Structure 1
Amino acid sequence: MFFKEKLYQGTLIKRYKRFLADIRLEDGTIVVAHCANTGAMTGCAEPGWQVWLSKSSNPKRKLAYSWELVKTDFGHYIGINTHRANELVAEAIHNDVINELKGYQQVKREVKLSGDNSRIDFMLTGVGLADCFVEVKSVTLLQNKQGYFPDAVTLRGHKHLRALSELALQGKRAVLLFCVQHTGMQSVKIAEHIDPQYKLELTDALSSGVEILTYSANISPKNILINQAIPFIF
């Protein structure tokens, strides 16, 4: 995924109210940027770090700028905009980057499931292949050189795991795909110390036949591209 226009570079002043961040641009102007990330963003939002923003030309938007990237003191790039994760995965599936999902000809997004109004990010279909349902999770929490998910208690994430389990028990392929948007991560584990219930739900999901895929991305102010599988440690 290449950014359509050049990003604006600046310095993070602070993130607040979950969806807002004050940024000082290179010319000294201070702007308020939208932060499309509902997580705790631990280790992703330190004042003084370099950040990159996209700017919308839509006059109806309340905030023109969106926070896209941050660069840590260790030189790691992090994708802040979690909405990008689904774009990255869709592009990677189309380009056959994700080996385990090759061969599917059609990709349908935001698929509504029967029963409880749940939605799954993708449904893949292909001739001679079992329907495959994929739920994507963006991973940005790095602690002691280890990548973790989630970075906060996620009741929505618990619900998604139960939905995937039901699909797997019906004989369909059900995949939980961790999209790692942090260049400092070499592997991913479940953050049991943050959300122990998520670990229990995932254990049940695995026993039901749910698959786990973990892919990392190259990140720069020019583009973000999923490039390789990395280990998931359970």
Structure 2
Amino acid sequence: MYFDPPLLPAVLVQRYKRFLFDAVLEDGSAITGSCPNTGSMRGLTAPGSRIWLSQHDSPTRKYRHMLEMVEVGDTTIGINTGLPNRLAEEAIRAGQVSDLHLYAKVERERKYGRNSRIDLLLSDPQRGLAYVEVKNVHFSRIQGLAEFPDSPTKRGAKHLEELGDMVEMGHRGIMVYLIQRDDCDRLSICAEFDPLYASAFRYARQRGVEVFAVQCRVSPQQIVPAGLIAMDEPALADL
């Protein structure tokens, strides 16, 4: 996906209340904008960081600017959690995720499970149904290693359980971790920050849930799915 209009560079002053940030634009203007990521954004909120912003002129929006990317060292990292479903669908249609491109139909946000909505529902007369859950990943503390989650997520564990339920009903349950950074060649489940999620992940795998990690090439001009990277399984010693 391309950014049109182009993203604006700025310097982060602070991110606060989960939904807001203050920044200084290149012309020296101080602005407040919206942050489309309610997670911890661990390691991505240091004051003085170079950031990239989209602009929105809708009269219904309170804040014109929205945070899209943060630079950490030489790496540009996408933080917008509204993009991974779209990027995962692009990866699937491009044939980057196993055989999922062979399904005839892709739908978004279909109700299923226990009062949940599946991110992508794939259907095909010959192949049946494939339930695809997508998780955004941007956390890394070891060179080359992306990690998920970066904070506890009961909702994430629930989604793993529901995918397992779909497998037991005769469908495919698939977890796609969408990594909005291009400096990692493998992904690991972070049992240190959420042992319950790691346990739910391991149980889901035992039930037949399929797992894929998709890396993206990220720049202020575009975010493009770049294919699969290795997925580490959590060790029993970590749980």
Q: TM-score, normalised by structure 1?
A: 0.96
Instruction: Give the aligned partner of residue 154 of structure 2.
Output: 155
Q: Secondary structure in 1 aligned to 2:57?
A: coil
Map of 1:91 onto structure 2: 90
Report the count of equivalent residues. Answer: 232
In 1, distance between residues paired with 2:195 and 2:218?
30
How far residue 100 of structure 1 moved from its aligned partner, in angstroms, is 3.2
Cα distance per residue 1:110-134 (max 9 Å; x no partner): 11015x2111101001231131110
* Aligned partner of residue 99 in structure 2, secondary structure: helix
2:213 alignment counterpart = 214
Q: Which runs of 5+ in 2 are unaligned?
A: 234-239
**CA displacement, residues 92-113 of structure 1 (integer Å, 9 cap, x when unaligned):** 2233333331211211111101
> 2:171 maps to which residue?
172
Measured on the aligned residues, the alpha-carbon RMSD in Å equals: 1.1
1:1-234 correspondence to structure 2 within 5 Å: 1-73=1-73, 75-114=74-113, 116-145=114-143, 146-234=145-233
Listed one character per residue, the Cα deviations across residues 58-87 of structure 1 (whole Å, up to 9, x for unaligned) are 0110111110011112x1110011111111
Q: Indicate the SS of the match to 1:102.
A: helix
Listed one character per residue, the Cα deviations across residues 168-219 of structure 1 (whole Å, up to 9, x for unaligned) are 1111011000000122222111110000000111111111110000110000
Letter in 2 for 1:143: R
Return the offset for 1:17.
0.7
List structure 1 segments (4+ residues) > 4 angstroms apart after TM superposition: none
**Aligned-pair distance for 1:148?**
0.7
Q: Distance in 1 between matches of 2:21 and 2:41?
A: 12
Deviations 1:135-173 (A, max 9, x none): 000111101222110011001101101110100111101
**C-alpha contact 2:96 2:228 (8 A) present in aligned 1:** no
Checking the alignment, whether the CA contact within 8 Å between 1:142 and 1:184 is kept in structure 2 is no
Q: Which moves more between the two structures, 121-130 or 198-207?
A: 121-130
Mapped to 2, the partners of 1:14 and 1:194 lie a distance apart of 24
CA distance in 1, matches of 2:162, 2:226: 28
Which residue in the other structure is 2:236 paired with? Answer: none
Once the two structures are overlaid, the 10-residue window that deviates more, 129-138 or 86-95, is: 86-95
In 1, Cα distance between the equivalents of 2:101 and 2:142? 34
Query: Could you tell me which amino acid in structure 2 is paired with residue 144 of structure 1?
Result: I
**What is the TM-score with the length of structure 2 in the denominator?**
0.94
Aligned mates of 1:126, 1:26 — CA distance in 2 = 50
Q: Percent identity?
A: 36
Q: CA deviation at 1:34?
A: 0.8
More strand by share: 2
